[in-house]
Amino acid sequence: MGPRRTIFKKSRKNGKQQNMSKDMKKKFKKEQASRPPPTRYQRNIKHIERSQEAIQAQKRQIEAERKYRQKANGSFGMDTFTSSDSEEDEGEQASRENGTAFEDLAVEFNDQLGQAVVDSEVESEEGDLDDEDMDEEGEEEDEEVGEEETEDVSDDGETSDCKIKESDSEANQASEMESEDEIEEEDPSDLSSEDDELETNDPYMQHTAFNLSPGMLETIAAEPPRVEHSKMVFPGLGNVLVELPKCTVANKRPEPKGILTKERYAKPGTLPTVPEHNASIDWRALHVKDKITRNITEPLDALQRDTFAILNGYQDLHITQRSFENAGRLRYVYCLHALNHVLKAVSKMQHHTIKLAASRADGRKKKKPAEDEFRRKIKVPKVGDEPTVGLECRDQGFVRPKVLIVVPFRESAFQCVSVLKHLFAGENEKNVMNWKRFTEQYGGGSTLSFSHKNPKPADYEQTFAGNIDDNFRLGIAFNRSTMKLYAKYYGSDVIIASPLGLRLAIGAKGEKHRDYDFLASIELLIIDQAEVCYAQNWDHLLHVMEHLHQQPKSTEYTEFSRVREWCLSGWSKFYRQSVLLSGFELPDFRSLYNKHFHNYRGKVRTIVRREQQQHTGTIRRVVVPVPQNFQRIETSTLDGAGSARFSHFVNVILPQARTVSMARCMIYVPSYFDFVRLRNHFKKEDISFTQICEYTADPKISRARDMFFHGGKHFLLYSERAHFFRRHRIRGVRHLIFYGPPAFPHFYPELVNLMMKENQNPRDGVDDSSMTVTVLYTRYDTYQLTEMIGIERANAMIKAPRSVHRFSTDQK
């Protein structure tokens, strides 16, 4: 009997290099050295492809082994083996009993096939030899680069900060792929099923877990959207107007999603629930995380309860009654809602990561049958991938940032982060990383010093208290126990930034280095102090809104297997909840509310009853006895309003104002574009004037005020932004012309009251009874007029046949 042949064949590892000559090996190494090192993203993709190929090869091998065992054991009169673990154990025991006879049968069976076995792992090693060498080189370079990339992205306005190059999410992706070998197996019984998650009453899950129905999508995507209006009364917010999409049922039956399941669509929004004022709050019933509720020490008042009831229902909200008295209470509520939203999203992602790791561990740790030690390695013909039913967890967007809070100053950001810290960690600062650095850069006391001899108005001191730097960006990352400040953009959950800081980060069209992918998956947008953002530069905020939910240019931070379907479909703007807080109404605010708030759950805005607006208006604060003339400018279109206003001023107002009797005339211009237009006209006509705008230097401002007070110049051009940021007390004003109604309604009585006798030059020789106030307005200035004189008077003045209306101090 000849020598016994073994069923195993020696591996051919590094077989390609054994067949190479020395010159070929040197040439091969030079080619490898000249290749650019692969990025971490490319290596991760290769790891995924290898793992998929290995899984498919293992499945084909297991199937071949099953068929082989069935045929082999059938010849011994044994039961056919199945793929279950219990039957595999029985087959393992039977194989041990048969011993040598089964071994001889295995050798004979493999000889009949006449095929050499190649291990799938050896094949992958041989086929991807070059990639392994490149991976080793790339890993060394990544370790060096990883130590160097520690620069803060969310601080200051330098150019280097505008280039957003983060590697946190890359590390997260790599750690998730390496977690296949690191995460221990979890008990599946401890993890809730997907059906339990979808059946919950949690507003977060109801808002994000389902796709939009065709009827709902058609309704909210229409121009204009089809909505139903309803008025409600809240004890704290007062009267609100609720707009809900008027959904048409396109398909009564749910569309099939697969062979066994049917598509479930998101429920349309309903009217918000009015909370009971005196009842205690059940935070568990409101689905607020326990980590937050144990840090809520003070009860919520009526305003906070009403606001949180709307926010917790994931409906858009526009509050036009923000003031310095309720600013802190509103900030507390929206920070509470934002933190609750982030913690739910983070816990859901971590929960799904554990489930996926457990399912992968179950597949890897299955026991191999005992027959493996007797089989030969068989090449299986290539076939198509077999369909598999795996665990699908879609809980993310394209990128990690979920919440964007836009505030005008660092002081506002400091207050927001302080509230988030208190709600997340209480008084324990150890769970908040980089807190000391944050307090030094965002706190540090007031930037401006206010004079006690000539005090500024109270609202000015409150607005510009603290650090008023308007160029900043701050990323915050959360996990189960830690709140990390100064996180990289793509590794953060919350971004707090100013409009200018975001504009510099996004860049302008035509710039070489631009990055706005971090705005692709914003689920909650909060804009606080909108009137201050309007005074800074409203175009910055509109620029940010235009770059929300754009298709990412890079997929470096995207895990497509876990991206929600409505993100992939481009419907993210319909799922974004937007909150806008302002102190008054403006056409720009209403335009932002109408054009950029697309929440399918509906939207809510505060309104004021007509009977309440009849006796309101800032004109009631005027104390100077001066006639106030309102002149309406006729125009048919909004685009032509600017030209009509300029033509009326040049042809009607300016000839009268240039007379000697109208000396010391100040012209208040709300828009800077109109200010430049008037300034150029005055220079062209060689009119005696001086100017003060937001860009005027302090020495020139002092000289302009002095010349105007002593009569050296006939006119003073004064911009609204200059008054907002400096709040000068202009003295010597005898005649005041408003080129348009002020955007800030409290500026009207403040400027008119500057004409008091103690602010006049006693040597000018002008009688106090000759002073005048003139206001120019159009039919498109309804919001400004309503804040100044009340809604009843505003409507009457716009619709009245005569174009001139006069008010006196005793008629207020």
Q: Identify the pLDDT of residue 613.
A: 58
User: May I ask the CATH class of domain 194-247+267-360+396-450+465-606?
Assistant: alpha beta
Please, what sign has the CA dihedral across residues 707, 711, 713, 718? Answer: positive
pLDDT confidence band for 446 (50 / 70 / 90): confident
Kind plus residue range of the DSSP H or E element containing 245:
strand 238-245
Radius of gyration of the chain (CA): 36
What percentage of the chain exceeds 90 in pLDDT?
A: 49
Which 3 state secondary structure label does DSSP give 485? strand
Taking 80 as the threshold, does the pLDDT of residue 180 lie above it? no
Q: Where are the alpha helices (DSSP H) in 153-288?
A: 159-162, 168-182, 194-198, 203-208, 214-220
What percentage of the chain exceeds 70 in pLDDT?
A: 75
Mean pLDDT of 228-237: 92
pLDDT confidence band for 509 (50 / 70 / 90): confident
Residue 739 in contact with residue 733, Cβ under 8 Å? no
Candidates 596, 619, 483, 481; CA nearest to 538 is 596
Which of 72-86, 353-367, 642-656 has the weakest average pLDDT?
Answer: 72-86
pLDDT in tens, 578-625: 999 999 999 999 999 999 999 999 999 999 765 555 557 899 999 999
Task: List the beta bridge partners of residue 563.
Answer: 396
Which 3 state secondary structure label does DSSP give 229? strand
**CATH number listed for the domain at residues 618-807:** 3.40.50.300
Q: How far apart are the first and last CA of the chain?
A: 123
Candidates 804, 806, 802; CA nearest to 652 is 804
Q: Identify the pLDDT of residue 42.
A: 80
Strands (E) across 566-724 are located at: 577-581, 603-607, 628-632, 665-669, 689-692, 715-719
Candidates 159, 143, 139, 142; CA nearest to 151 is 159
Q: Identify the pLDDT of residue 179.
A: 40
For residues 780 and 597, what is the distance between their CA atoms, to the nearest angstrom? 22
Residue 369 in contact with residue 64, Cβ under 8 Å? no
Taking 70 as the threshold, does the pLDDT of residue 193 lie above it? no
Six token digits for residue 253:
């039956």
Q: Identify the pLDDT of residue 74.
A: 61
Q: Identify the pLDDT of residue 131.
A: 43
Look-up of token digits 């004109």? 619
pLDDT in tens, 100-154: 444 554 445 444 444 333 333 333 344 443 444 444 444 444 444 344 433 343 4
For residues 388 and 394, what is the distance between their CA atoms, to the nearest angstrom? 17
Task: List the beta bridge partners of residue 737.
Answer: 667, 774
Rounded to the nearest 10 degrees, how much is the dihedral formed by the CA atoms of 619, 622, 625, 631?
-30
pLDDT in tens, 772-808: 999 999 999 999 999 999 888 999 999 999 999 999 8
Which residues in the chain are classed under CATH 3.40.50.300? 194-247+267-360+396-450+465-606, 618-807
CA angle 427, 431, 436 (to 5 degrees): 80
For residues 364 and 359, what is the distance between their CA atoms, to the nearest angstrom? 9
Look-up of token digits 């429920």? 267
For residues 690 and 705, what is the distance between their CA atoms, to the nearest angstrom? 9
pTM of the entire predicted model: 0.74
For residues 314 and 577, what is the distance between their CA atoms, to the nearest angstrom? 6
Helices (H) and strands (E) in the chain, counts: 32, 18
pLDDT in tens, 334-389: 999 999 999 999 999 888 888 888 877 776 665 444 444 444 444 444 444 434 34
Strands (E) across 470-572 are located at: 473-478, 483-485, 494-497, 524-527
pLDDT in tens, 29-74: 888 777 777 787 788 888 888 888 888 888 888 888 888 777 766 6
Mean pLDDT of 171-176: 42
Q: Percent helix, strand and coil across the chain, each rounded to 5?
A: 45, 10, 40
Ramachandran class of 154: left when φ > 0, alpha when ψ lies in -120 to 50, beta otherwise: alpha
Q: Identify the pLDDT of residue 504.
A: 93
Rounded to the nearest 10 degrees, how much is the dihedral formed by the CA atoms of 310, 316, 320, 326?
40
Residue 508 in contact with residue 531, Cβ under 8 Å? no
Per DSSP, the residues of 255-290 read PB-SSS-B--BPPPP-PPP---SSSPP-TTTTT--H
Checking DSSP bridges between strand 772-777 and strand 628-632, what pairing results, if any? parallel
pLDDT in tens, 447-472: 777 777 778 899 999 999 999 999 99
Which of 17-21, 168-172, 673-677 has the weakest average pLDDT?
Answer: 168-172
Which of 237-241, 332-336, 509-513, 701-705 has the weakest average pLDDT?
Answer: 509-513
CA angle 297, 303, 304 (to 5 degrees): 35
Residue 460 in contact with residue 727, Cβ under 8 Å? yes
Taking 50 as the threshold, does the pLDDT of residue 275 lie above it? yes
Count of CB atoms within 10 A of residue 500's CB?
Answer: 20
Q: Identify the pLDDT of residue 378.
A: 43
For residues 73 and 129, what is the distance between their CA atoms, to the nearest angstrom? 39
Mean pLDDT of 280-290: 92
